[in-house]
């Protein structure tokens, strides 16, 4: 993976998107990536996000990184468990401002904790066969 400085330069080329936060997660964030690893990126768009934004952003990321194995997660629509995993294990590489980051992370943690009883019940059901 390129350096954090390089990544920030790449994001400067994406100014036409209303991106508030960017995380890298998965093997690149953990530092155990191989030549076969895909690049996992999560973004939080500002207001007005639509599906075409995701498609266009994927195309731009493919051009920037010169690879087509990019997995893009849109945090605006991701479930709380995935968002929690990205916050916990991913690396934040861009934030428009810290208030947005804090608000997003607090909201995610609140939703994740609210779902805990349901996840626990589901796991008990699965374990019971």
Q: Measured on CA atoms in the order 85, 89, 94, 95, is the torsion positive or negative? A: positive
Q: For the domain that residue 21 is a member of, what is the CATH number? A: 3.30.460.10
**CB hemisphere CA count around 2 (13 angstroms):** 12
pLDDT at 1: 46
What per-residue confidence (pLDDT) applies to 66? 87
CA distance 129 to 123: 10
* pLDDT, block means (10 residues), the chain with 129 residues: 56 79 92 90 90 90 88 95 96 93 96 77 68
pTM of the model: 0.82
> How many structural domains comprise the chain?
1
Range of the domain at 74: 4-127
Contact 74, 43 (CB under 8 A): yes
Q: Where are the alpha helices (DSSP H) in the chain?
A: 4-12, 27-30, 51-65, 80-89, 98-114, 116-127
Question: The tokens 């990536």 sit on which residue?
Answer: 33
Q: What's the maximum distance between 2 C-alpha atoms anywhere in the chain?
A: 51
């Amino acid at each position: 993976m390129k350096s954090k400085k390089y990544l920030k330069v790449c994001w400067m080329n994406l100014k036409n998107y209303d991106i508030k936060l960017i995380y890298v997660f998965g093997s690149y964030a953990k530092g155990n990536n191989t030549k076969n690893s895909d690049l996992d990126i999560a973004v939080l768009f500002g207001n007005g996000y639509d599906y075409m934004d995701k498609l266009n952003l994927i195309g731009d990321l493919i051009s920037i990184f010169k690879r087509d194995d990019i997995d893009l997660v849109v945090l605006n629509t991701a479930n709380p468990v995935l968002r929690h995993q990205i916050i916990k294990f991913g690396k934040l590489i861009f934030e428009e401002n810290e208030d947005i980051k804090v608000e997003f992370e607090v909201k995610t943690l609140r939703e994740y904790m609210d779902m805990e009883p349901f996840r626990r019940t589901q796991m008990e059901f699965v374990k019971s066969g």
